Amino acid sequence: MTKKNFVVLATLTCLAILFFWRGLFNFFTQDDFILIDNFSQNSLTENIANIFGKPKVTHWRPIHNLYFAIGGSIFGKNYVGYHLMTLIVHVASGYLIFKTTRKIVASEKAAFVAAIIYLTNPSHFVSIYWISGGATILGFFFFIASFYCYIREKKLLAGTLFALSLLD
């Protein structure tokens, strides 16, 4: 990563924290409790069955369920960790928007503005404050990553990432 890209990523991270820091401390709501109970501190076989098997309490979203299983293994029932994980994916998506836009329009300023608009848009409020709503951020991350790989002519990786975006 070049120094310029690092500065862009650091700036986007600071902006995301500035705009959404309160979301890190939002307690579990709605179906967060169901997903946390299904994917925190289970055995590996239970988690695999919950991720890829027939849905018990939610719809079939294996990537989102895998996301909860990883979060549950790392954070247990600590809601701050889940929100932090979602915010990190949100920043990564913003950075990919920067890279994608820069490649398409060949303007760093336009790419940076596009990333800021995405990153600070208030429509992401629900996805960041409601842990289960993070599925939209996760799905978009795989989608923008697939598009970036596609324009860089990495077609197999682009197809794989696109398929993952559909499974979220």
Dump pLDDT digits (tens) for 41-51. 677 787 777 77
Q: Answer whether residue 12 shows pLDDT above 80.
A: yes
**Mean pLDDT over each residue of the chain, to the nearest integer:** 87
| Global confidence as pTM | 0.88
What is the pLDDT, as a whole number, of residue 160?
Answer: 96
What is the pLDDT, as a whole number, of residue 140?
Answer: 95
Q: Answer whether residue 143 shows pLDDT above 80.
A: yes
Compute the Cα dihedral for 85, 86, 90, 93 and give only its sign: positive
Half-sphere exposure of 10 (CA within 13 A, CB side): 7
Q: How far apart are CA 100 and CA 112, in angstroms?
A: 10
Where does the pLDDT of residue 100 fall: very low under 50, low under 70, confident under 90, or very high at 90 and above? very high
Neighbours of 80 (CB within 10 A): 13
Contact between residue 144 and residue 94 where contact means Cβ atoms under 8 Å apart: no
